[in-house]
Amino acid sequence: MSAAAWEERLYRAAHPIAYPLLTAVRSPVRRIPGLGIVVTDAALLRSVLLDGRGFTKNGPGASSELWTPVLGPTVLVNMDGADHAALRRQLAPLFTPAWVDDLAARTLADALAALTGRLRDGEPVDLVTEVRHYASIMIAQLVGLGDDVVGDELFRRISAISAYVNLARPRLTARQILAARRVIAELDTAASAAWAGDASTVPGRMRELGLGERDALGAAGAFVLTGTETLVAFIPRLVALLLDTGWLDRLRDDRTRVEAAIAEGMRVTTPTPVMLRSVLRDGRIGGVGVRRGERVILATFAANRALGPFDPIANPAAGLKQLWFGAGPHFCIGAPLAMAQVRLVLGALLDAPAGLRVAARGAARRTLLPGYRSLVITR
């Protein structure tokens, strides 16, 4: 099966109902009753993301309905305007390339050296399990826990929070909110102690940057909930794509193409397939009139895919200004950390001998983000 066919399978397994509905939209904008106004054109999509007066993340049908009951009302993802900009400014030094490159390298060095070694020894490695392990280590860093404390069990409970929701119902039931709050409370206890300590931990560094305890805990919770699943879904998909197209070995011979290959991987997979907004005031998106309170589904995956198949040589991703990380005021604040981790994992695979292949794989079913349930690679 081709790389594109596998991607198609992942999307269908994750969203058996919504995906066919969204891919059936052939026009740049269309209203789908019961779902919302679907935008599939990159330029229109960007215009919505940049129009803070016309659209908000914090209204009916937008993702704030998922985050606010769990994390509280002021955690970036559900803020707008001056307060949002001020918190972003305060957090900016946490995500400078130098800081995140160092954080990621320090945090993942041992695990990645072990990965290269196992592949060199001919051991089959399930990349999904592997990347979950890295995510646990990174969560520990983000909330200031010891590496050994965030085990698979806590990770599973964190993942379960996003697994509760789907596109038709992007919010949690009362029982799910309670379960999610219990997980966040556990993380908060650790983050609170770290915030009060020195600047060697992420919460401690946030205090140094002037964040109060409540904002620091909220930000740490948002990083964990938004950043973990995206990477766990993306990295195995990128690796599968590179193996299915023969590009992993090509990159080993010519590492100058690594950045283009990652960008193209982001474009054709679009780890966060859609973004949601709520209409703030009556207006138009392209040729379609929209009314206050309506939900807008920004189908980034459709806009990205319109530029054709994975191609690190022509690199059509270069013209998209990283649309897969969003645009405008809510552009992914964690993008430098995500990129640092992706580069490191890819580097570890490129350090392994040539000729790696996929030995077995299966798609994850009914997950918010399409991805592999398992992806076993070996020599």
* Residue 320 amino acid letter: L
Map the footprint of ligand HEM across residues 330-369, applying CB under 6 A: 330, 332-334, 337-338
As measured in angstroms, the least distance from the Cβ of 122 to ligand HEM is 29
Helix H or strand E segment including 374: strand 372-378
Closer Cβ to ligand HEM, 95 or 164, answer by number: 95
Instruction: Render 46-76 in DSSP notation, one character per residue.
Output: HHHHH-TTTEESSSTTSTHHHHHHHH-S-SS
Map the footprint of ligand HEM across residues 196-235, applying CB under 6 A: 222-223, 226-227, 230-231, 234
The region of 178-186, 192-200, 281-289, 322-330 touching ligand HEM under the rule CB under 6 A is 322-330
As measured in angstroms, the least distance from the Cβ of 328 to ligand HEM is 7
Closer Cβ to ligand HEM, 227 or 236, answer by number: 227
User: In a 10 Å sphere around its CB, with 0-12 CB exposed, 13-18 middle and 19+ buried, how is residue 340 labelled?
Assistant: buried
Closer Cβ to ligand HEM, 81 or 117, answer by number: 81
The region of 120-128, 160-168, 171-179, 327-335 touching ligand HEM under the rule CB under 6 A is 327-335
Structure tokens belonging to residue 99:
């800081």
Tell me the HSE value of 5 on the side-chain side, using a 13 A CA sphere. 4
Closer Cβ to ligand HEM, 81 or 212, answer by number: 81
* Dihedral sign for Cα atoms in the order 321, 322, 324, 327: negative
The region of 9-17, 113-121, 167-175, 269-277 touching ligand HEM under the rule CB under 6 A is 269-277
Distance CA 283, CA 308 (A): 31
Q: Is 12 helix (H, G, I), strand (E, B) or coil?
A: helix
Q: For ligand HEM, which residue of 18, 39, 71, 77 counts as binding (CB under 6 A)?
A: 77
Structure tokens belonging to residue 240:
């599968």
Closest C-alpha among 235, 226, 229, 308 to residue 267: 308
269 binds ligand HEM (CB under 6 A): no
The size of the interface with ligand HEM (CB under 6 A), counted in residues, is 23
Beta 29-32 vs 36-39: how paired, if at all? antiparallel
CA angle 276, 280, 284 (to 5 degrees): 85
Contact residues toward ligand HEM (CB under 6 A) are 57, 76-77, 88, 222-223, 226-227, 230-231, 234, 271-272, 275, 324-326, 330, 332-334, 337-338
